[in-house]
Structures are given as C-alpha cells and as structure tokens.
Amino acid sequence: MDIRGGTLNYEGITVLNDVETASKNVGKMGRLLPSPASLQHVAQKLEKAGKHLCPFQLISTNFGEGVEFDYAKTTRLVIDAFGLSDVGKERQINISASIDAAKLTKNIMHTSAGLKMTDVQGRDSFRNKRSFIYEKNSLCNLQSCNANFSMKIIIMKETKESFKQFEDVYQFFHLFSETSEACHHEPSNLEKFQWEESTTS
C-alpha cells in the first residue's frame, strides 16, 4: 500500500487487485476483491439513495472540511427506524444531542455531532427487539454506537473554538422544545431546517 501513499482509496484498491491477479490460482478460484470500477458504481447508487433519504452536503470551515446532513430529515429517519413514529404522536420522544472527537490517524482527527436515541420504547430494527430494556426492566446499551447518529462531521482538531462549529446542531435540538410558531420566527434556522417539509410531513 505504500506504493500509493499508504491510503485505502480507489488507487489502494487497484494495488490490492494487482496483488490478487498476480496469483496463479486467481483464474481457478475467481476474484475475491472488487475492482475500483465496481466500487464506484455501488458508491454512486448509495449516494443517490442517500440524497433522497437523508440529503447531505460537503462543507468547508476555517478548521477543516466536512459533511453535513439535513438535521430534520436525519432525525425523522432515526425516529422511523426505531419504530417511534406513532409514539411521537402521543408523547414527546426522548432524544439526546451528542458530540465527540477521535483520532483517525496520528495526525488526522475528526469531530462529529448528532443525535443519540435514548427513548426506552425504541426498537432495534435489526434484531426486532427493544433497544434499551432487558430482563427485569433494567436499562442498558444507552451508550451503544448503534444508538448514535452523526449529523455533522468535520476533519479537524478538538479545541474549544472548533467546537463552536457545532452550535447549530444544539440550536436545532433546542428548537424542538419550542412551539412551531417560535421555530418559524428564528431567521437563522428558517431556510436550513425546513420545519414544515421535514418534520411534519
């Protein structure tokens, strides 16, 4: 992998393909690794589906580049996935805001913020069971990565100033506790959050 700079991108996959096809047995057994072209084809399909379900955009800040998802549609998608759409019509759903930072490599860090599903009635869509309640009604897995969903990710170092790039995420959740009228009278959020289209449709 050092031939292409030590990165696992499409060029890195090409190197692995070259190593695989150099084997004498590849003709008999068939290829195991996909080609860059096939990965790009799948990536395009995934991106097309993702833009419909949960639109996103690339962003650039003074601290680094990143990706930002549509906050309202992300929240609605997670609520639907945990089977809480009907519950939300009868009572408030318990959702927490979350932020964290981690090292990707020795010199590259990322910070991400989003939502954490903590409503005890949420259901694990993969196992078709309650997500947070086990035997004897004890709570568990509230910190599970399966309950955390990033809505904004920026490749940058973790500092007090850089964390301010995520204030709009917390403002979004703050407005959840406000009335619909109050939300629409917040000029900075009117265009970005699209309340009527994303949270009530």
pLDDT, tens digit, 9 for 90 and up, residues 42-64: 989 988 888 888 888 889 998 98
Same domain, 46 and 131: no
Same domain, 27 and 58: no
CA distances from 72 to 30, 55, 160 (A): 45, 10, 26
What letter would DSSP give residue 54? S
Same domain, 153 and 142: yes
Q: If we measure between CA atoms, which residue out of 64, 46, 84, 97 comes closest to residue 56? A: 46
Domain C-terminal end among 36, 53, 70? 53
Q: Across residues 109-133, what is the average pLDDT?
A: 76
Q: If we measure between CA atoms, which residue out of 173, 172, 190 comes closest to residue 181? A: 190
Domain region containing 128? 54-199
Q: If we measure between CA atoms, which residue out of 162, 144, 141, 145 comes closest to residue 153? A: 162
Q: What share of the chain is helix, strand, coil (3-state, %, to 5)?
A: 45, 20, 35
Same domain, 151 and 119: yes
Same domain, 86 and 170: yes
Domain tally, the chain: 2
CA angle 48, 111, 130 (to 5 degrees): 70
Tokens 């031939």 correspond to what residue? 3
Same domain, 44 and 94: no
Residue 179: predicted pLDDT: 57
Same domain, 82 and 172: yes
Cα torsion 141, 170, 94, 134 to 10°: value is 0
Q: Across residues 149-174, what is the average pLDDT?
A: 87
Residue 199: predicted pLDDT: 43
Examine the pLDDT at 140 and tell me if it is beyond 50. yes
Same domain, 62 and 127: yes
User: With bands split at pLDDT 50, 70 and 90, how would you rate the model's confidence at 151?
Assistant: very high
Same domain, 90 and 187: yes
- d(CA 113, CA 96) in angstroms, rounded, equals 11
Tokens 């959020």 correspond to what residue? 189
| Percent of the chain clearing pLDDT 70 (strictly above) | 68
Same domain, 45 and 120: no
Same domain, 93 and 174: yes
Residue 98: predicted pLDDT: 87
CA distances from 198 to 53, 144, 151, 191 (A): 11, 27, 15, 12
- d(CA 147, CA 122) in angstroms, rounded, equals 10
Residue 134: predicted pLDDT: 56
CA distances from 127 to 18, 123, 140 (A): 39, 8, 15
- d(CA 201, CA 192) in angstroms, rounded, equals 16
Same domain, 184 and 86: yes
Examine the pLDDT at 195 and tell me if it is beyond 70. no
